[in-house]
Amino acid sequence: MKTVIIMLTGLALAGLSVDNARADAAAGKAAFDANKCNECHYTDGPAKEKTIDDVLAKKGPELWYAGSKFNADWLGGWLADPKPIRLLAYNSLKEKNPGDHPKLAAADAGSVRDFLMSLTSGDVEAGKVKAKKNPKGKLIFTKKMPCSGCHQYPDKDSAKGGISGPSLVEAGVRLNPDWILAYLLHPSVFKPVKDMPNFVGLLSDKDMLNVSRFVASFQPDK
């Protein structure tokens, strides 16, 4: 009898927790819309881009899988105090990033974070990638499939690499390591049209794992 009561109490608490999470996400969606985030970012998947024009028409990245892509702590902090992730303005090869992404008030930042973290993709398998520097991943990143040509990365005391893609200097803080791998494995799910090569069929699953672990190891000032 005692066991049954404990189990029922546990189930009730779990139910309350799910309800609370849903309520937080709903409040976050309201804050997302009230702050006009939806004017630049879409949050309903799957991916909508079918042509280059579709990509170039966007004002900001899609967020329909944000909960699988970002680390929650980083996301909450960034929404309250955004710093440029790209050196160039979104979808531009000419203009510098003006660094004018709107800041959210602390309460809204937490609320919007909860909403965005509720948006997940079934194509991201949890627990697959552990951040770790490794020579095979580094070789792929810097030479074999030269990610470094378009993405900055931390190298000793400075940032190196190209600037057309998002900076990966803080990738280990910003990104979920499992998403990095999923993005390489399933490019057509997350970005069906993008100015980065598809590596499916070119890199083995093991190579993709190694490069994901390497990218996930990037920390600022390390």
Partner 1 sequence: MKTKHIIFTVALVMTAMVGTAKAFAEDTEKVFQFYCAQCHGEKGDGLGVNVTKDFPVTPRAFNNADEMNKLTDADLRNVIREGGPIASKSEMMPPWGKTLSEADIDGLVKKLRDLCQCKGKQG
- The site for partner 1 (CB under 8 A) is made up of 51-53, 55-56, 88, 93, 143-146, 148-150, 160-164, 186-188, 192-193, 195, 197-202
Residues 218 and 200: their CA atoms lie apart, in Å, by 23
Closest to partner 1 by CB, 61 or 192: 192
C-alpha separations of 167 from 40, 86, 102 in Å: 20, 6, 19
Please state the closest distance from residue 200 (CB atom) to partner 1, in A. 4
Please state the closest distance from residue 142 (CB atom) to partner 1, in A. 9
Closest to partner 1 by CB, 73 or 195: 195
Q: Decide: 193 and 55 in contact? Cβ < 8 Å.
A: yes
Closest to partner 1 by CB, 33 or 123: 123
Residues 150 and 76: their CA atoms lie apart, in Å, by 27
Which tokens is 37 given? 């985030």
Closest to partner 1 by CB, 15 or 46: 46
Closest to partner 1 by CB, 27 or 55: 55
Question: DSSP strand E in the chain: where?
Answer: 153-155, 158-160
Parallel/antiparallel/unpaired status of strands 158-160 and 153-155: antiparallel
Q: Report the chain's terminal Cα–Cα distance, integer Å.
A: 56
Please state the closest distance from residue 178 (CB atom) to partner 1, in A. 18
Please state the closest distance from residue 44 (CB atom) to partner 1, in A. 21
Which tokens is 5 given? 């009561």
CA nearest to 181, candidates 216, 138, 134? 216
Please state the closest distance from residue 73 (CB atom) to partner 1, in A. 30
